[in-house]
Structure 1
Amino acid sequence: MTVSTSTSTSTTTVSTTTTTISALPTDHDVELRRAARALLAHPLLTARDDDFRLVRKHAAELAGWFADQAGWRLTVDAETARLVKKPAALDDATRPARAPKTKVPFTRRRYVLLCLALAALERSESQTTLGRLAEGVLTGATDPALTEAGISFGMGRREERADLVAVVRLLLSWGVLTRVQGDEEAFVADGGNDVLYDVDRRISGGLLATSRGASTVTAASFEERLTALAAEPLPETDDLRLRSLRHAMTRRLLDDPVVYYADLTEAERAYLVSQRVSISRRITELTGLIPEMRAEGISMVDPEDTLTDVRMPEQGTDGHVTLLIATKIATDGSAPTVPELIRFVQAQAKAHASYWRKTATEPAAAADLAEQAVTKLEALNLVARLPDDQGRTRIHPRSALMRFAMAEPTIKKAGAHP
């Protein structure tokens, strides 16, 4: 996830005005950049995607760059392209899977359903139905390990069927399933009107981005299992250690909206400070992202405003609320609690009632609007939720949020020189 801000336009203008004719990108460069950006935005592409042809055309060069700079594996065949991205940080909870239709984050229940659905599809024929998939999920849910964890499933209630349909639609968006006939809405309503799907196992088989098979991990806690799944060999030489640091820092600059030096280990910080120019230059050459380097860290800004899953600022009521809250926290330099922000949103709803959607001005809507805004700012690494001495969670501003601070206007006397 790269950061998208209103300041990127001026950066682009400066850089383009100083470009010489000899440095203009060739058709090859344009295609390669477009293909790389497509993979970063959608690490799983199929032949139905617009940029798949370019990815396949430049597969060798892309695979070499991602392997050398980020340690990511790219596999491309006649129908699919899969960039196996490994995150630099395993504790980032700001990027959940979301229901394609409602954009609601997946719950624990939906994640378990997703795993059970994929397991059922591995045993299915090349075609399956929603009803058969539901039966496979229910069978898998009888596993004693799930029962001991207090997890159970049924399809008797509308909410339960809606959870399965959210999983199915996520699989549809990935290309694991292709709808042949029918619609899921009737299944949600009353469990009827079965839906027929084609199953693509080439795609489902490439979904896991792990260093080892999940069945080989015996760790007890979730954190330990996740660490084991993503673990890579420890570097034994100085060259391997430097390569490991290059991979880690490139991953963070490609994926994170802001990389703060304070969040890095001592070795990572020393490496990034010394290599930030060369690393950011290589990223810019491939992707077009522009580095913004500050004393606190680095952000790769997208002048095209497309290579990001969270935008700031953004139009609409939700975007306006997020911008107002960002401005308030940055300007005040405070660390408010969520209840304080809810009261702030309620006051702003009265002031902007003619511009916001009608439901947003209802008193009960302020809590959802405030929470959504804080979640977005947290995903952009602009704020952090931290407890205070009394156990209350406060929303602390991070350095990059200061770009949204409002200064007091300067009023000049008539006739004064500008």
Structure 2
Amino acid sequence: MIRQLLASLLVLAAAALAWLFLVPGAPETLARVGIVLPFGPAPQTEANAGPRGPGGAGRGGPGGFAGRATNVVTGAVNLVTINQTLNAIGEGTPARSVTVTTPSTGTLAEILVRPGQRVEAGDVIARFDAETEQIEFDRAQLAADDAAAALARTSGLASSNVVASTALAAAELANANAQLALRSAQLALERRTISSPIAGVVGLMQVNPGNYVGAQTVVTTVDDTSAILIDFWVPERYATQITTDMPVEVTAVAQPGRSFTGNISVIDNRIDPASRTLQVQAEIPNDDNVLRAGMSFSVSLAFPGEEYPAVNPLSILWSAEGSYVWKYEDGAATKVMAEIVQRNSDGVLVRADLEPGDAVITEGILQLSEGTPVTVLEGPGAEDSRQAAAN
């Protein structure tokens, strides 16, 4: 019990000493009630007291301190641009790609190209065994030549009125049928040859010579990689800002440290309702053939962006009306409402009536009210405060 009493007395003594030495006006308060201590700060006399204010105390305000300037630290407002760059991941595809299939059924006689070889449109890739079709073509050629000769003889006799016109008509019909048979035999023979429909690079072969294959069997693929098409998706908010022929810059995972430029070639006509994204396709020239279909690309698009004032996070305060900051202006604190837009490494981006270079108070903000005189110790406005104090 005695120990608790002594501890309480020590706490009260410490509090009294702290009040005496730390609270401005404590000695004067003791002096007014007739208490004079042999230690501690001496009370201020009327001679050295400041001019009295309406509150009856020195320094011109209630309690004697309303006119004293508050010491603060300020920071400059910066203008920061956001949403000026869009980065996305895309996958490359060739400008044109064809899957080469067999036009008919038969035994594959030979393959004339190698994987990775560049071919032109119409170049022969492979051939079937075509002996039967060649025989049929030769037979049709002979029949066509015979029908043409018969028509020529009949036409000569008809001009001399030696044969009837019906004989001439029959000869013309026979010649036409022979020509049709020849064309049919020629088409069957051509179908024994597999050709590339486009210019490009040949892929891996899916069949080998000697295989018996059916119609529409895949032989290989031919890719035109003179340009690479990159498909990627952008958020819905950028849908109205993206246009065709818009420049784009890409980097490939397989080509670190090197960038490639191109343009937007195709924009989808609708937003994907599941992901709320828009599919976009960019075309990248590949003249040196260093890019391949299927590569992964990092795509970068540049936009005008949006500009907002950026302030120090320490300057943000909250009230019932929302977030706000204290702006240093003409030696006093001015309240400015500031709606928070985004937080990033540059500070807090706000929507507020602030200009680049404005001084916003970052320290000492809890003691401020509208129009409170302030003295800037550090930051924008510190020089003005020093000059005002010197005058």
TM-score by length of 1: 0.17
Rg: which structure is higher? Answer: 2
User: Could you tell me the TM-score, scaled by structure 2's length?
Assistant: 0.18
Structure having the larger proportion of residues in strand: 2
Greater fraction of residues in helix: 1
